[in-house]
Structure 1
């Protein structure tokens, strides 16, 4: 007989083939299904196996062949998640496998993904599909097998976890996707096993630090057992009681295993049902049993569903934008305005919170999360606000993040004008080639041959380093209403991170390190160090400009004609440098006129130079003309990077500030030093 149930979109692992990549067309082939059997485990029921039939008349390929999207990890809430599409008409069933061709977008943000796929670093894809009809049978002594005989694949996604032919791989359920669709389940001569004809299944969530992929499903009501099931249960042998002489270590091992199962199950269920991590943390810390946890989780899901109106294609919170997000942003704006009214203007939505203390905001956040705060002491309010499902930890983290980032961006970094920024893909040593001159062109006689030339090169290498510190916001901060603890202190850290970058770069100038040829950056053999120190003046700068223009290539012959763009001086010479390059000074004595070539220099004053010499000054060429000093950040984490978590070592929120940064002088010919008078 047939039973109609409600199912959401499902996910299953697939595989792409990097060796099929076409760089010019930006296409690659994928095997989006092999029909492999997948284990599914209901929330309240027995596990069963799912098969996908790959017979031509069992798979609806219309949506794939119409140009279905190729996504990043099944993200459907943002347009930027679309990184390509299925080439129309390329989806087909071939030798028992579903195959298709993907064409990648030309957007800049897609390029790193395309390169990683070509290199074979990303090999896995996952399909999203809907099942319209199952045929169910139960082999003797085995689990039920649900065979999909009418189903539709509708999207393909690049995913980080490799394909596994023996396990199902699904992504977290997307709250923006259609919740369910009707599916017919056909059983030959059997009664439906569930009292209701509605069943809801949830997709798999990758389990952290676990190589095994687990497929999860949720059934709306626990199924009463049929008489056949009851008979089968009675026929099974009863468990043998534990012997009184059982090893104590075995009992301890069982207890630990049960606790691990309780904790992992609670976190898995909370993640799959889109509940916040703090909600699961609270259940784990309170020692809530699995049965009680399931009840609490279902109640929480029911309360969330009441706040959302579901339409056929999209799910939109009542009132448009999520009210919790709006309220959280408003409180963040009010706290930032208290920290610095000039840097952070007060938003209209934040006016209702501008006069509230931290304790009042914490109590308000708990109330909004459904926690009754009547009769709670200040310490209890602070503790619960930092460790519950309220938005308060996220508000504190947002305020800290923005104040730190603002201070980091505001710090004056003078080295960026004459240095070149690059991105490092990892922490391995980066080798930079110092190119020599191009070989001279030679005359080619009639019927003559073109002669080959070579480029000279010299290699420099360096790597980025990681710098970091942890800032803690404790419950004492809330109780004392100490706003400075998570505004001014993080701002000081942001300032310190920017100072660290400047220290690393300017130390190259002041320390004068050895280059790849075992000679210092500023050295007489490099022809970028004045033999006799001279005070900053027109004649001395002119001699330095001439020395840079006469610099030769690695062949010691070709003149490079390097023109400096920056005059670098210690703070003690800043005024004199500005006077020298000033455009509005025209002396009456023509002998004292500053040439236009010197007035085009841009002065850079750096107080770190004074600690070594108050008289030495430097010239630097533009990095667009020749390499000077190069500095690098880790790709994707330029500048200060912030992470937050609920405190473990401290009773509060921990905020980690991290900087991945490195710098190295690449070529001495674009720099010149005069020790001064």
Structure 2
């Protein structure tokens, strides 16, 4: 059996060079491996109030106006993911990027966002964090996207019919298994799609529906397990990093073994590390911007500062003489 398809092209046919616009799917909510956990975005919980009008950046850089390539003109949630229409600036640098998108040599997309509510869980031994309520703040053109499903759109009509473009059943099955892996679905799910002789397009729609249903479920069946120490827990990290921060101003303090991994980190390094664990990009940002974002997002940085301050206060109380004595 063979499946006849319309010719596929890496070029984004929605590029309009006169209007300097292009359409894209900037997120499918696919799972992304972070440091110590798998992160997912619940697309149904996205607050799009600040996405229209948000900047389009060059690889998440925002140090100057030169880093802004354009602006998001429109945004909405569609079955295939989070859709936007971007308008690029009229300067040479932005036009060059749009030209590369049009000829297919730039394809990567990423988003920057803040999270108002996390839902922590586990899948076997793997820790998971799902952003239940979150707000996209910027769109970036990147060389390596975290979400493999993010792409510049080819429009509704696709490309002209090409009778020579043929996809065998084996190739279709391989594509369906790839879709299942990207969406974090089981092999049984992929086998069911293959047994039903689904096309990759219908399997992709079914995978998106399954991801939405999984995010909406409030109860999960899990295997009972006792965890004595979770080294990725924010409270554990705050205690160890807070001790390391305290020791930088108190050389006489003997660091515990778990805290030594943070001993080399300066104040800004700790803030950047917290943003990384929270899934917030910090490359290209100034030190002041990194510290501001670390203090006003859902990162662990305020917890670390609180631990260091508490150690300082406990030391002061211990040193004060007793008035009663």
TM-score scaled to structure 1, two decimals?
0.24
TM-score scaled to structure 2, two decimals?
0.47
Decide which structure has the larger Cα Rg and report it. 1
